[in-house]
Amino acid sequence: MVKRGNDAVHWYMTEVGARVVAKTGIPSDRHHLGKLMLHSLQDDPDFILQIDGATGESETFGSALDRSIRCAVSLTNMGLKKGDVMVLMGPNHIDYCIPHTAGLFLGIMVASVDATLCVSELEQLFETNRPKIIFGQSTKLAHINEALSLSKVDAKIVTFDNDSDSTLAQLLGDADEASVKNFQPTDFDPSSTIAFLTSTSGTTGIPKTAMITHENLAISLPYIWKTMSDFPSPVKIAFVVSPAQWITTGFNYIIAPVFKFTRLQTSAPVTPDHFGDLVDKYRPGYILCNPVLMKTLAEQAKCDFTCFKLMTLGGSFVPQELVDKMKKLTQSENVFVMYGMSELSGTAFFNDCTVPSGSCGKPAGSFDCKLVDPETNEEVTEPHVPGELWFKGPAVFKGYHNNPEVTRETFSDDGWFRCGDIFYRDESWNVYFVERYKSLLKYNNHQVSPLEVEMIIMKHPGVSQVAVTGIPDRESGDLVVACVVPKPGCNPTAQEIKDLVKENLTETKHLRGGVIFIKSLPITSASKINRQKLKELALTMPRE
């Protein structure tokens, strides 16, 4: 019999929620992330919550609980309250989750931010989010202060390290013992209280901040783990390789104490050598990773991947070749593709061993969804016909923070969220990703999927990576261009690449814009292809 997922994770979450409600008498507390985490941390104080693989430091549930409560007490004494914004900036050290957890206790909106952002980027972010307090590293103080001044935002700055006048250690020390002993999380409605403010390009490519509630996350997060059947502790150790500002890292901060597993993270860059050392030392059982990084790790990390009992790949398009390779390296069939968005509070689909290769899975139970023709807004009812996927349900985010105009554009008049991506389905409602709607090119009124062309070019034995874009043409619309990274020691020619496309795809998708050979593809801080810079390269570099 083919192994398939069951509802074990939902049975477990129901039990944890019931225990919290039994304590508080408030039915909606089953979706209050702060109270779920508080209960779980209290439940087993000696269990190891987190390990920083770069330093070897570790921390128990009990220690993290005490420090998070002290942080929450001090934040309250400073006047912070439900609905205020907290910005977090830094690497994945063991201090990062302390204000993160404290914020969820109090109903403060937590905005995890890329610590490498420049002053102008921070200025724009601060203008939108209007934080009351910022936690960061002392090396970033000058940039933070300049951005606050330019954005005219008044915020308290606290550093994780001790090289400043206001530090996390001081903040924890300021909490009075009576308040710590008697601490209770703030009561609020989880369906309307924002947990995360997450930076996202959404469906337009313009940076903005998605508002995700406690209820959104409490309902959505369990679906990531639906292939597992043993709770608590579906795995002993989960390896978090995403940067601290990624929403997937925030997922692990929430779920590790609730599911009772140890979170392995690192405050150092995740290089192949460092990754390999940590895998062989700690033998983690689960990882959620973007495909760009995993491809590099699979090729360069010298370690035994068979410790991974569950591997989830997502964040950008996942080639089937990578899935097959990871199944071989892990010696497990439990390597799954996850399609998710910040706006969907996590994963959109459920994927297990019954799902056909190449499919993202079936729609998760946290949504209603439908396929819609993006030009006519008519529902697509037939299988194998592409359309934009629209979502409605309790896991859909609440809109973009301080941006009502873009929020209105993102939702239909009757409340459906337009995800901006094109899919098709088969007869069994297995869903297949086609292309991001805004990435589609048009040649003589024919749509061209860059992803489809990229998949053909990747079949060339001398190609390591490829990204397809378009250059504008007055008469035809977009001329298709391929930006190719050759494999070391290989010298594919432009004509070989053009001929490969010509032999496999209809003439509207041929490489009329030419081929560009480059050393590496432009990548965003989220390890995705930077499509804007790719277009600039196509316009400025010599094309063959």
CATH number of the domain that residue 259 is part of: 3.40.50.12780
Q: How many degrees, rounded to 5, is the angle at CA 49 between CA 90 and CA 257?
A: 100
Q: Give the closest residue to 49 by CA, choosing from 413, 132, 41, 273.
A: 41
Give the Cα separation of 37 and 39 in Å (integer): 5
187 part of a folded domain? yes
**Same structural domain, 389 and 523:** no
98 part of a folded domain? yes
73 part of a folded domain? yes
Are 124 and 207 contacting, i.e. CB atoms less than 8 angstroms apart?
yes
347 part of a folded domain? no
Partners of 425 in the beta sheet? Answer: 431
Above pLDDT 90, what percent of the chain?
68
pLDDT confidence bin for 129, thresholds 50/70/90: very high
The residue among 327, 352, 377 that closes a domain is: 327
**Residue showing tokens 């924002």:** 194
Give the Cα separation of 62 and 55 in Å (integer): 20
pLDDT of residue 32: 98
For residue 327, pLDDT over 70 is answered with yes
Contacts of 446 (CB under 8 A, 6+ apart): 508
pLDDT of residue 54: 98
| Number of structural domains the chain divides into | 3
List pLDDT tens digits, range 180-196: 999 999 999 999 999 99
List pLDDT tens digits, range 6-21: 799 999 999 999 999 9
348 part of a folded domain? no
pLDDT of residue 527: 64
The residue among 407, 438, 469 that closes a domain is: 438
Query: How many Cα atoms sit within 13 Å of 278 on the Cβ side?
Result: 29
**Same structural domain, 113 and 197:** yes
Contacts of 222 (CB under 8 A, 6+ apart): 9, 10, 13
**Same structural domain, 187 and 71:** yes
SS3 call for 59: strand
Q: Give the closest residue to 451 by CA, choosing from 376, 338, 528, 354.
A: 528
**Same structural domain, 422 and 503:** no
pLDDT confidence bin for 133, thresholds 50/70/90: very high
For residue 207, pLDDT over 80 is answered with no
List pLDDT tens digits, range 494-536: 999 999 999 888 888 899 999 999 988 887 665 667 777 888 8
pLDDT of residue 375: 81
424-438 mean pLDDT: 85
pLDDT of residue 320: 87
pLDDT of residue 147: 95
List pLDDT tens digits, range 486-495: 999 999 999 9
Least confident of 149-158, 442-451, 476-485: 442-451
pLDDT of residue 205: 44
Are 289 and 262 contacting, i.e. CB atoms less than 8 angstroms apart?
no
Least confident of 175-189, 253-267, 317-331, 443-457: 443-457
SS3 annotation, 118-144:
CHHHHHHHHHHHCCCEEEECHHHHHHH
Phi-psi domain of 497 (left: phi exceeds 0; alpha: psi -120 through 50; beta: other)? alpha
For residue 452, pLDDT over 90 is answered with no
For residue 222, pLDDT over 70 is answered with yes
**Same structural domain, 426 and 450:** no
Backbone torsions φ then ψ of 519, nearest 5 degrees: -80, -35
**Same structural domain, 129 and 163:** yes
**Same structural domain, 256 and 301:** yes
Domain with 430 in it: what CATH number?
2.30.38.10
Amino acid in position 56: G
Partners of 481 in the beta sheet? Answer: 469, 514
List pLDDT tens digits, range 341-364: 899 999 999 887 788 888 888 888
pLDDT of residue 411: 94
For residue 446, pLDDT over 80 is answered with no
pLDDT confidence bin for 202, thresholds 50/70/90: very low
Q: Give the closest residue to 37 by CA, choosing from 221, 235, 174.
A: 221
What is the DSSP-derived secondary structure letter of residue 356? P
454 part of a folded domain? yes
What is the DSSP-derived secondary structure letter of residue 225? G
Give the Cα separation of 82 and 221 in Å (integer): 22
Above pLDDT 70, what percent of the chain?
96
Strands (E), 321-386: 335-338, 340-341, 346-347, 349-350, 362-363, 368-372, 379-380
pLDDT of residue 201: 56
pLDDT of residue 522: 85
Least confident of 22-26, 119-123, 207-211, 526-530: 526-530
What is the DSSP-derived secondary structure letter of residue 185? P
pLDDT confidence bin for 218, thresholds 50/70/90: very high
Least confident of 136-140, 216-220, 231-235, 419-423: 419-423
The residue among 411, 438, 465 that closes a domain is: 438
111-125 mean pLDDT: 89
Q: pLDDT higher for 330 or 436? A: 330
SS3 call for 245: coil
367-393 mean pLDDT: 92
My answer on whether omega of the bond before 232 falls inside 30° of 0, hence cis, is: yes
List pLDDT tens digits, range 258-298: 999 999 999 999 999 999 999 999 999 999 998 888 988 99
List pLDDT tens digits, range 27-53: 999 999 999 999 999 999 999 999 999
Domain with 535 in it: what CATH number?
3.30.300.30
**Same structural domain, 377 and 491:** no
pLDDT of residue 204: 41
For residue 252, pLDDT over 90 is answered with yes
Q: Give, for 50, the enclosing helix (H) or strand (E).
A: strand 48-52
Tell me the average pLDDT of the chain.
Answer: 91
pLDDT of residue 102: 98
**Same structural domain, 416 and 469:** no
**Same structural domain, 135 and 125:** yes
340 part of a folded domain? no
**Same structural domain, 494 and 515:** yes
Query: How many Cα atoms sit within 13 Å of 223 on the Cβ side?
Result: 25
For residue 203, pLDDT over 70 is answered with no
Beta-carbon neighbour count of residue 168 at 10 Å? 22
List pLDDT tens digits, range 47-82: 999 999 999 999 999 999 999 999 999 999 999 999
Domain, as residue range, for 391:
367-438
**Same structural domain, 429 and 501:** no
1 part of a folded domain? no
Q: How many degrees, rounded to 5, is the angle at CA 188 between CA 182 and CA 190?
A: 125
Beta-carbon neighbour count of residue 331 at 10 Å? 10
Are 64 and 46 contacting, i.e. CB atoms less than 8 angstroms apart?
no
